[in-house]
Amino acid sequence: MTPKRVVVVGGGTGGTILANKMVSLLRSETSEGKAEVHLFADSTEHVFSPGNLDIAFRGMVPASFRRREAALLNRRVVLHETAVNRIDLMNRTILYDSKVLNYDYLVLATGSVARPDVIEGLKEASHNFHTGQEDARKTWEALSRFSKGKLVVLTNIPHKCPPSPVEAVFLVEELMRERGLRDKVEIYYATPYTRAYPAPAIADVVEPLMEKRGIRLYNMFNTDYVDTKLRKVYSIEGEELEFDMLITVPPHRGADIVFRSEIGDAEGWIPTDRETMRYSNSDDVYVVGDATNIPISKSGVVAHLEAIVAAENITSDYFGTGKVYCYTGRINCPLELGGNRAVFVSATYEKPPTRQKPSEMKYLMKRTFASIYWEMLKGRLDPLFDLYFGKPYRVRVVEH
């Protein structure tokens, strides 16, 4: 009997968690050869992306935020350390290395890509930490040389990890104070949102702290282009900001494989049901993480929870239980505010974030996350998360 095959494209947070979850849910089937779980990762190494903040603004060593992908997977997951050339949904096949692999279930965990090149002058004039560890390290090196002038932290949308630009500006301000340069450096934060953070309750916390620390806020600043010679960034609204150093969160787009396979929208986001994680109401294709077009945070926490929901739905379909698992939209993203304080941006589809007091405990929780991340990918901490946060889904039963 030909085994049923679950194929996961993308070796980031969502893809890795989902592959491990699938072999756990299909333990007997994968052990007996009735089912296979394949994961395609286009790199041999798995990177903890939130660590880019520590690399860029604390000078931490990039290697401490990397592990071999193979070491993070259950031994029953078939790992392909190669890029996928094309996804053919019509014929239910994956094309790679001149080979073809059929699937019964497909999960697209292809992530997002930082694209400073889509805005004129942005790539040439700015430093950023979203394009990878190497650029994060270059940002740190540039900051280490910077001693006076106007420093602008510029946000563009859409981007992954919503708290990251706010965290960046607070960490920059803290770094300048620690180096005794604060009175020589003007710090600006420019964002396309109407406030310093898109959620009003979190903005209520962030904005007074920015004012207290002398960070000048520019709202409704949608980047038009950057003049590399004049060292000015211009907004669509007609404003301009002069800079001596520009740190940016570039706009993001979907992965190249999405464009090549023609399965996404104009920016490369894949149409996804926000509850079931199914692609365009398909019964055999699912999407998790940054790759979706769901208007929700593109973050590791969301990718994690969506992966669990998708895995449960695939398993339910596999066994014909009639259960449908519906993601609640739960997010729980830490936001560091300097001074060893942090808040957690927590919400669901129905409940927006609430105002909270920055605390050292939340800061310590965030700082420990990098060390437990690797075990989390293996699914070993899910029982603790479920106990603390509750299940990230509700279940409905479909009558046949």
At 160-190, the pLDDT tens digits run 999 999 999 999 999 999 999 999 999 999 9
How many Å is the Cα radius of gyration of the chain? 22
Confidence tier at 400 by pLDDT (50, 70, 90): low
Burial string for 211-248 (b: 16+ CB within 10 Å, else e) reads: eebebebbeebebbebeeeebbbbbeeeeebebebbbb
**Residue 225, pLDDT score:** 98
- Are 379 and 21 contacting, i.e. CB atoms less than 8 angstroms apart? yes
* CATH architecture for residues 4-111+255-327+382-397: 3-Layer(bba) Sandwich (3.50)
Average of per-residue pLDDT values in the chain: 96
Specify the pairing of strand 77-80 against strand 66-68.
Answer: unpaired
- What is the number of other CB atoms lying within 10 angstroms of the CB of residue 313? 24
Nearest of 21, 41, 36 to residue 308 by alpha carbon: 21
- Are 335 and 301 contacting, i.e. CB atoms less than 8 angstroms apart? no
In Å, the largest CA–CA distance within the chain is 72
DSSP character at residue 400: -
Instruction: Say if residue 104 is exposed, middle or buried (CB neighbours under 10 Å; 0-12, 13-18, 19+).
Output: middle
- What is the number of other CB atoms lying within 10 angstroms of the CB of residue 397? 10
Measured between alpha carbons, how far is 320 from 129 in angstroms, rounded to an integer? 45
Measured between alpha carbons, how far is 151 from 125 in angstroms, rounded to an integer? 12
Alpha carbon of 326 to those of 28, 153, 233, 333, 346: distances in Å? 25, 37, 43, 20, 18
Q: Please state which CATH class domain 114-252 belongs to.
A: alpha beta
Measured between alpha carbons, how far is 110 from 247 in angstroms, rounded to an integer? 26
pLDDT score of 54 more than 90 = yes
**Residue 45, pLDDT score:** 97
**Residue 394, pLDDT score:** 96
- What is the number of other CB atoms lying within 10 angstroms of the CB of residue 400? 5
pLDDT one-digit tens code per residue, 260-292: 999 999 999 999 999 999 998 788 999 999 999
DSSP output for 187-200:
EEEE-SSSSSSSSH
Nearest of 78, 87, 92 to residue 41 by alpha carbon: 78
pLDDT one-digit tens code per residue, 105-117: 999 999 999 999 9
pLDDT one-digit tens code per residue, 90-144: 999 999 999 999 999 999 999 999 999 999 999 999 999 999 999 999 999 999 9
- CB contact set of 85 (below 8 Å; sequence gap of 6+): 95, 96, 97, 257, 260
Q: What share of the chain is helix, strand, coil (3-state, %, to 5)?
A: 35, 25, 40
Measured between alpha carbons, how far is 378 from 393 in angstroms, rounded to an integer? 20
Tokens representing residue 313 in the block: 């739905």
pLDDT score of 399 more than 90 = no
Identity at 287, one-letter amino acid code: V
DSSP character at residue 3: P
Average pLDDT over residues 343-363: 95
Average pLDDT over residues 13-22: 98
- CB contact set of 311 (below 8 Å; sequence gap of 6+): 18, 21, 22, 25
pLDDT one-digit tens code per residue, 219-245: 999 999 999 999 999 999 999 999 999
- Are 395 and 324 contacting, i.e. CB atoms less than 8 angstroms apart? yes
Element (H, E) at 317: helix 300-319
What residue ranges do the domains of the chain occupy? 4-111+255-327+382-397, 114-252
Instruction: Say if residue 249 is exposed, middle or buried (CB neighbours under 10 Å; 0-12, 13-18, 19+).
Output: buried
- Are 44 and 144 contacting, i.e. CB atoms less than 8 angstroms apart? no
